[in-house]
Amino acid sequence: MRPRPWPKVPELTAQVARAVAARGPYPLAMRVRDELGELFADAEFTEAFGARGRPGWSPGQLALVTVLQFAENLTDRAAAHRVRYGMDLKYALGLELDDPGFDASVLSEFRTRLVEHGMEEKVLDLLLTALKDRGLVKAGGKQRTDSTRVLAAVRDLNRLELAGETLRATLEALACAAPDWLAGAVQARDRHARVRVGAALGVCGATRWCR
């Protein structure tokens, strides 16, 4: 990893994002970028990343995505989708409109690195410091006691994501190997109900075996 400043919000991204935001409440992600700026510097996460190898995503940007992901109660897949298509997140991260974003697995790998290097509270500490410096929270208040709940939620998110991905892969394999058996194994009244069951499980191949 080579620490670098966050990119400025591209002019076209800012223009489109603000035009869309003008039609409703100002998005949280855009407000964070406007009011807090470069909230998480890459240099804060240097010890969790190697100095050699192929450059990856900015850990500071991934930290912001993780915070917004928690705020919106999103899975890794949903958060990656928001980065790819959401104007507000492209604005917050300083991305061009055509930036493809990243694979959902990047978020899980980022959290794993933090845990392996004993940096579980790094993101929360930096966030609270930034908020305190701007007078948005009081030092020594109850905000600090929330860290355990936040960390527990992040760990639960990791487990749920792993379970969901395992189940999806298993069902897709069964859809190819034994589609007739799989269709009969799902107890639902009609085709639409079976499709809803597949969608609820996060199975991308649900429409193949629910016909």
Q: Flag the least confident range among 3-7, 153-157, 173-177.
A: 153-157
Domain parsing of the chain, residue ranges: 11-137, 162-209
At residue 150, the pLDDT reads 57
* Percentage, residues of the chain above pLDDT 90: 30
At residue 74, the pLDDT reads 92
Residue environment code for 93-108, b if the CB has 16+ CB neighbours within 10 A, otherwise e: bbbeeeeebbebebbb
At residue 162, the pLDDT reads 67
Whole-angstrom distance, CA of residue 58 vs CA of residue 78: 19
Whole-angstrom distance, CA of residue 142 vs CA of residue 140: 7
pLDDT per residue as tens digits for the range 134-155: 777 665 555 444 555 555 566 6
- Does the pLDDT value for residue 210 go beyond 50? no
At residue 48, the pLDDT reads 76
At residue 209, the pLDDT reads 39
Tokens found for residue 18: 């603000």
pLDDT per residue as tens digits for the range 56-114: 788 889 999 999 998 899 999 999 999 999 999 999 999 999 999 999 999 998 888 88
- Does the pLDDT value for residue 118 go beyond 80? yes
At residue 29, the pLDDT reads 93
Residue of 36 and 176 predicted with greater confidence: 36
Q: What is the dihedral of CA 155, 159, 165, 166, to 10 degrees?
A: 150
pLDDT per residue as tens digits for the range 24-47: 889 999 999 998 888 888 888 887
Whole-angstrom distance, CA of residue 89 vs CA of residue 161: 21
Mean pLDDT, the chain, rounded, equals 76
pTM of the model: 0.61
Whole-angstrom distance, CA of residue 169 vs CA of residue 204: 9
What 3-state DSSP class applies to 51? Answer: coil
At residue 96, the pLDDT reads 95
At residue 203, the pLDDT reads 43
